[in-house]
Amino acid sequence: MLLGSIEAGGTKFVCAVGNENYQVQDQVQFPTTTPEETLKKTVEYFKEFNIDSLSIASFGPIEIRKSSPNYGYITTTPKPGWKNTDFVGYLKQFFKIPVFWTTDVNGSAYGEYVMSTLSNEKINSLTYYTIGTGVGGGSIINGHLIGEIGHPEMGHVLVKRHPDDLKFDGICPYHHDCLEGLVAGPTFEARLGVKGSQVSPTNHVWDIMAYYVAQAMLQTTLTLRPGKIILGGGVTNEIFVKKIREEFKRLLNDYVQVPDLERYIVMPSVKNNGSATLGNFALADKLLKI
Protein backbone atom coordinates (compact mmCIF):
# COMPACT_ATOMS: atom_id res chain seq x y z
CA MET A 1 0.00 0.00 0.00
CA LEU A 2 1.27 3.46 -0.91
CA LEU A 3 -0.06 6.69 0.60
CA GLY A 4 0.32 10.14 -0.94
CA SER A 5 0.88 13.42 0.88
CA ILE A 6 0.77 16.99 -0.39
CA GLU A 7 1.76 19.77 1.98
CA ALA A 8 0.75 22.79 -0.07
CA GLY A 9 2.32 25.87 1.43
CA GLY A 10 2.25 29.42 0.19
CA THR A 11 6.02 29.28 -0.36
CA LYS A 12 6.62 25.65 -1.34
CA PHE A 13 4.92 22.32 -2.03
CA VAL A 14 6.19 19.17 -0.33
CA CYS A 15 4.96 15.98 -2.01
CA ALA A 16 5.70 12.59 -0.51
CA VAL A 17 4.86 8.91 -0.82
CA GLY A 18 4.75 6.66 2.24
CA ASN A 19 3.92 3.13 3.31
CA GLU A 20 1.35 1.75 5.74
CA ASN A 21 3.74 2.47 8.61
CA TYR A 22 3.74 6.17 7.63
CA GLN A 23 7.39 6.03 6.63
CA VAL A 24 8.49 8.30 3.79
CA GLN A 25 9.49 6.27 0.72
CA ASP A 26 10.08 9.23 -1.57
CA GLN A 27 9.76 13.00 -1.29
CA VAL A 28 10.21 16.13 -3.39
CA GLN A 29 9.66 19.84 -2.89
CA PHE A 30 9.36 22.76 -5.28
CA PRO A 31 8.37 26.45 -5.09
CA THR A 32 4.73 27.49 -5.08
CA THR A 33 4.44 29.51 -8.28
CA THR A 34 1.27 29.70 -10.37
CA PRO A 35 -1.53 27.16 -9.84
CA GLU A 36 -1.05 25.83 -13.39
CA GLU A 37 2.69 25.24 -13.02
CA THR A 38 2.62 24.01 -9.43
CA LEU A 39 -0.27 21.57 -9.81
CA LYS A 40 1.19 20.24 -13.05
CA LYS A 41 4.44 19.42 -11.21
CA THR A 42 2.39 17.76 -8.48
CA VAL A 43 0.59 15.50 -10.97
CA GLU A 44 3.83 14.62 -12.73
CA TYR A 45 5.38 13.57 -9.43
CA PHE A 46 2.56 11.27 -8.32
CA LYS A 47 2.22 9.69 -11.78
CA GLU A 48 5.51 7.95 -10.98
CA PHE A 49 3.82 5.99 -8.17
CA ASN A 50 0.76 3.80 -7.88
CA ILE A 51 -0.67 5.44 -4.77
CA ASP A 52 -3.85 4.07 -3.17
CA SER A 53 -5.05 7.26 -1.50
CA LEU A 54 -3.96 10.86 -1.07
CA SER A 55 -4.26 13.56 1.57
CA ILE A 56 -3.76 17.26 0.85
CA ALA A 57 -2.96 19.80 3.57
CA SER A 58 -3.20 23.20 1.91
CA PHE A 59 -2.77 26.87 2.71
CA GLY A 60 -6.10 28.60 2.76
CA PRO A 61 -8.76 29.59 3.28
CA ILE A 62 -10.17 26.48 1.62
CA GLU A 63 -13.66 25.03 1.18
CA ILE A 64 -14.04 21.82 3.20
CA ARG A 65 -17.84 21.41 3.04
CA LYS A 66 -18.58 18.54 0.67
CA SER A 67 -22.06 19.96 0.12
CA SER A 68 -20.57 23.11 -1.43
CA PRO A 69 -20.11 23.41 -5.21
CA ASN A 70 -16.68 24.85 -4.39
CA TYR A 71 -15.55 21.89 -2.28
CA GLY A 72 -11.85 21.33 -2.83
CA TYR A 73 -11.12 24.95 -3.74
CA ILE A 74 -8.62 27.36 -2.29
CA THR A 75 -10.96 30.32 -1.85
CA THR A 76 -10.20 33.84 -0.59
CA THR A 77 -6.46 33.47 -0.14
CA PRO A 78 -4.29 36.60 -0.35
CA LYS A 79 -1.72 34.47 -2.24
CA PRO A 80 -1.55 36.13 -5.70
CA GLY A 81 -3.05 34.03 -8.48
CA TRP A 82 -4.45 31.30 -6.22
CA LYS A 83 -7.86 32.70 -5.32
CA ASN A 84 -10.69 30.31 -6.33
CA THR A 85 -8.37 27.49 -7.45
CA ASP A 86 -10.02 24.08 -7.85
CA PHE A 87 -7.21 22.10 -6.25
CA VAL A 88 -8.97 18.77 -5.61
CA GLY A 89 -10.91 18.86 -8.87
CA TYR A 90 -7.73 19.30 -10.88
CA LEU A 91 -6.03 16.32 -9.25
CA LYS A 92 -9.10 14.11 -9.58
CA GLN A 93 -8.84 14.43 -13.35
CA PHE A 94 -5.68 12.33 -13.13
CA PHE A 95 -6.10 10.12 -10.04
CA LYS A 96 -9.22 8.04 -9.41
CA ILE A 97 -8.45 7.43 -5.74
CA PRO A 98 -9.83 8.64 -2.39
CA VAL A 99 -8.63 12.16 -1.53
CA PHE A 100 -8.67 13.82 1.91
CA TRP A 101 -8.74 17.62 1.84
CA THR A 102 -7.82 19.84 4.78
CA THR A 103 -5.70 22.81 5.82
CA ASP A 104 -1.93 22.75 6.22
CA VAL A 105 -2.22 23.35 9.96
CA ASN A 106 -4.85 20.63 10.35
CA GLY A 107 -2.45 18.24 8.64
CA SER A 108 0.31 19.27 11.03
CA ALA A 109 -1.98 19.02 14.04
CA TYR A 110 -3.01 15.51 13.02
CA GLY A 111 0.61 14.52 12.50
CA GLU A 112 1.51 15.67 16.01
CA TYR A 113 -1.51 13.79 17.36
CA VAL A 114 -0.39 10.60 15.59
CA MET A 115 3.14 11.06 16.93
CA SER A 116 1.82 11.45 20.47
CA THR A 117 -0.07 8.18 20.03
CA LEU A 118 2.94 6.38 18.59
CA SER A 119 5.09 7.58 21.50
CA ASN A 120 2.46 6.58 24.09
CA GLU A 121 2.03 10.17 25.24
CA LYS A 122 -1.74 9.59 25.27
CA ILE A 123 -2.92 13.14 24.57
CA ASN A 124 -6.51 13.20 23.27
CA SER A 125 -6.49 16.83 22.18
CA LEU A 126 -3.96 19.39 20.99
CA THR A 127 -3.73 22.62 19.03
CA TYR A 128 -1.05 23.34 16.44
CA TYR A 129 -0.10 26.86 15.36
CA THR A 130 2.24 27.67 12.52
CA ILE A 131 3.92 31.08 12.50
CA GLY A 132 5.64 31.66 9.19
CA THR A 133 4.72 33.50 5.99
CA GLY A 134 1.22 33.41 7.45
CA VAL A 135 -0.27 32.28 10.74
CA GLY A 136 -2.77 29.47 11.17
CA GLY A 137 -3.98 26.99 13.70
CA GLY A 138 -5.61 23.57 13.76
CA SER A 139 -7.07 21.57 16.63
CA ILE A 140 -7.67 17.92 17.36
CA ILE A 141 -10.36 17.23 19.97
CA ASN A 142 -10.72 13.61 21.11
CA GLY A 143 -8.94 12.50 17.96
CA HIS A 144 -11.09 14.53 15.55
CA LEU A 145 -10.45 17.66 13.52
CA ILE A 146 -12.85 20.49 14.38
CA GLY A 147 -14.89 22.72 12.07
CA GLU A 148 -18.37 22.28 10.55
CA ILE A 149 -19.23 25.34 8.45
CA GLY A 150 -15.54 25.71 7.67
CA HIS A 151 -12.11 25.15 9.11
CA PRO A 152 -10.74 27.26 11.99
CA GLU A 153 -8.91 30.48 11.09
CA MET A 154 -7.00 30.92 14.33
CA GLY A 155 -4.41 33.14 12.71
CA HIS A 156 -6.97 35.89 12.23
CA VAL A 157 -8.18 36.32 15.79
CA LEU A 158 -7.98 39.87 17.11
CA VAL A 159 -5.48 40.64 19.87
CA LYS A 160 -4.87 43.56 22.20
CA ARG A 161 -2.16 45.88 20.92
CA HIS A 162 1.16 46.13 22.69
CA PRO A 163 1.72 49.72 23.95
CA ASP A 164 5.08 49.86 22.13
CA ASP A 165 3.55 48.76 18.82
CA LEU A 166 0.65 51.14 18.31
CA LYS A 167 2.09 52.82 15.21
CA PHE A 168 2.33 49.54 13.26
CA ASP A 169 -0.78 48.99 11.13
CA GLY A 170 -0.31 45.25 10.57
CA ILE A 171 0.01 43.48 7.23
CA CYS A 172 -3.16 41.38 6.91
CA PRO A 173 -5.08 42.63 3.85
CA TYR A 174 -8.39 41.69 5.50
CA HIS A 175 -7.97 42.68 9.16
CA HIS A 176 -4.66 44.59 9.34
CA ASP A 177 -3.77 43.96 12.99
CA CYS A 178 -5.08 40.46 13.62
CA LEU A 179 -2.62 37.87 14.93
CA GLU A 180 -1.27 37.09 11.45
CA GLY A 181 -1.04 40.77 10.62
CA LEU A 182 1.16 41.36 13.67
CA VAL A 183 3.41 38.27 13.97
CA ALA A 184 3.77 36.62 10.53
CA GLY A 185 7.27 36.51 9.05
CA PRO A 186 6.80 39.49 6.71
CA THR A 187 6.05 41.76 9.70
CA PHE A 188 9.80 41.91 10.43
CA GLU A 189 10.43 43.67 7.13
CA ALA A 190 7.34 45.84 7.57
CA ARG A 191 8.52 46.99 11.00
CA LEU A 192 12.31 46.91 10.70
CA GLY A 193 13.15 46.69 7.01
CA VAL A 194 15.00 43.36 7.39
CA LYS A 195 14.10 39.69 7.30
CA GLY A 196 13.41 37.87 10.56
CA SER A 197 16.57 35.79 10.21
CA GLN A 198 18.56 39.02 10.51
CA VAL A 199 16.81 40.25 13.67
CA SER A 200 18.76 39.79 16.89
CA PRO A 201 17.00 37.66 19.54
CA THR A 202 17.49 40.59 21.93
CA ASN A 203 15.47 42.96 19.73
CA HIS A 204 12.35 44.21 21.53
CA VAL A 205 10.19 43.18 18.56
CA TRP A 206 10.37 39.57 19.82
CA ASP A 207 8.84 40.65 23.15
CA ILE A 208 6.07 42.47 21.30
CA MET A 209 5.31 39.45 19.13
CA ALA A 210 5.46 37.08 22.12
CA TYR A 211 2.78 39.21 23.76
CA TYR A 212 0.48 38.71 20.77
CA VAL A 213 1.11 34.98 20.44
CA ALA A 214 0.61 34.47 24.18
CA GLN A 215 -2.82 36.06 23.88
CA ALA A 216 -3.75 33.50 21.23
CA MET A 217 -2.45 30.72 23.48
CA LEU A 218 -4.60 32.10 26.30
CA GLN A 219 -7.70 32.16 24.10
CA THR A 220 -7.03 28.60 22.96
CA THR A 221 -6.49 27.43 26.53
CA LEU A 222 -9.69 29.02 27.82
CA THR A 223 -11.91 27.94 24.91
CA LEU A 224 -10.61 24.50 23.92
CA ARG A 225 -8.59 23.31 26.94
CA PRO A 226 -6.23 21.16 24.82
CA GLY A 227 -3.68 18.84 26.35
CA LYS A 228 -0.87 20.61 24.53
CA ILE A 229 -0.21 23.61 22.27
CA ILE A 230 2.45 23.23 19.57
CA LEU A 231 4.18 26.12 17.84
CA GLY A 232 5.74 25.48 14.43
CA GLY A 233 6.69 27.53 11.39
CA GLY A 234 9.74 29.45 10.27
CA VAL A 235 9.40 32.29 12.78
CA THR A 236 9.31 29.94 15.77
CA ASN A 237 12.49 29.18 17.71
CA GLU A 238 13.34 28.12 21.26
CA ILE A 239 14.10 31.66 22.49
CA PHE A 240 10.82 32.96 21.07
CA VAL A 241 8.85 30.09 22.60
CA LYS A 242 10.43 30.83 25.99
CA LYS A 243 9.27 34.45 25.73
CA ILE A 244 5.77 33.26 24.77
CA ARG A 245 5.62 30.98 27.83
CA GLU A 246 6.61 33.88 30.09
CA GLU A 247 3.93 36.15 28.61
CA PHE A 248 1.35 33.37 28.77
CA LYS A 249 2.08 32.75 32.45
CA ARG A 250 1.65 36.45 33.18
CA LEU A 251 -1.61 36.72 31.22
CA LEU A 252 -3.14 33.50 32.61
CA ASN A 253 -2.31 34.67 36.14
CA ASP A 254 -2.99 31.19 37.59
CA TYR A 255 -6.67 31.43 36.65
CA VAL A 256 -6.92 27.77 35.58
CA GLN A 257 -4.55 24.86 35.88
CA VAL A 258 -2.40 23.87 32.92
CA PRO A 259 0.50 21.42 32.65
CA ASP A 260 4.05 22.58 33.22
CA LEU A 261 4.59 25.18 30.50
CA GLU A 262 7.67 23.45 29.10
CA ARG A 263 5.41 20.48 28.31
CA TYR A 264 2.30 22.51 27.47
CA ILE A 265 3.60 25.11 24.98
CA VAL A 266 6.16 23.29 22.86
CA MET A 267 7.76 23.03 19.44
CA PRO A 268 6.84 20.13 17.10
CA SER A 269 7.86 16.61 18.07
CA VAL A 270 7.97 15.40 14.44
CA LYS A 271 11.44 16.22 13.13
CA ASN A 272 12.43 18.07 9.93
CA ASN A 273 9.09 19.90 9.61
CA GLY A 274 7.43 16.56 8.93
CA SER A 275 4.24 16.99 10.97
CA ALA A 276 1.95 17.62 7.99
CA THR A 277 3.43 14.74 5.97
CA LEU A 278 2.90 12.31 8.83
CA GLY A 279 -0.61 13.65 9.36
CA ASN A 280 -1.39 13.31 5.67
CA PHE A 281 -0.24 9.69 5.59
CA ALA A 282 -2.50 8.89 8.55
CA LEU A 283 -5.48 10.73 7.03
CA ALA A 284 -4.96 9.04 3.66
CA ASP A 285 -4.78 5.69 5.45
CA LYS A 286 -8.09 6.40 7.22
CA LEU A 287 -9.80 6.83 3.84
CA LEU A 288 -8.93 3.25 2.96
CA LYS A 289 -10.46 1.95 6.17
CA ILE A 290 -13.83 3.68 6.00
**What CATH number is given to the structural domain containing 48?**
3.30.420.40
pLDDT 10s digits, 46-88: 999 999 999 999 999 999 999 999 999 999 988 899 999 999 9
Residues 6+ apart with CB under 8 A from 216: 129, 137, 154, 157, 159, 179
Do residue 12 and residue 65 come from a single domain? yes
Q: Print the domain residue range for 57.
A: 3-103+272-287
The helix (H) or strand (E) run that includes residue 98 is none
Residues 105 and 10 sit within 8 Å (Cβ to Cβ):
no
Do residue 165 and residue 258 come from a single domain? yes
Pairing status of strand 135-141 against strand 126-131? antiparallel
Across 118-124, average pLDDT = 87
pLDDT 10s digits, 93-112: 999 999 999 999 999 999 99
Residue 29, Ramachandran bin (φ over 0: left; ψ between -120 and 50: alpha; else beta): beta
Do residue 60 and residue 21 come from a single domain? yes
pLDDT for the residue numbered 128 = 97
Do residue 145 and residue 235 come from a single domain? yes
pLDDT of 267 higher than 90 = yes
Across 227-236, average pLDDT = 96
Do residue 71 and residue 158 come from a single domain? no
pLDDT 10s digits, 193-218: 999 999 999 999 999 999 999 999 99
Do residue 232 and residue 277 come from a single domain? no
pLDDT of 290 higher than 80 = no
For the chain, what is the domain count?
Answer: 2
Q: How many CB atoms lie within 10 A of CB 247?
A: 20
Q: Which amino acid is at 271?
A: K
Give residue 148's pLDDT band: very low, low, confident or very high (50, 70, 90). Answer: confident
Do residue 144 and residue 261 come from a single domain? yes
Nearest to residue 143, comparing CAs of 279, 6, 23?
A: 279
The helix (H) or strand (E) run that includes residue 214 is helix 204-224
Do residue 97 and residue 146 come from a single domain? no
pLDDT for the residue numbered 272 = 85
Asked if residue 160 is part of any domain, the answer here is yes
pLDDT for the residue numbered 273 = 86
pLDDT of 149 higher than 90 = no
Nearest to residue 40, comparing CAs of 75, 10, 19, 15?
A: 15
Residues 104 and 137 sit within 8 Å (Cβ to Cβ):
no
Q: How many CB atoms lie within 10 A of CB 7?
A: 27
Asked if residue 110 is part of any domain, the answer here is no
Asked if residue 109 is part of any domain, the answer here is no
Report the side by side order of strands in the sheet with 24-31: 24-31, 12-18, 3-8, 53-58, 99-103
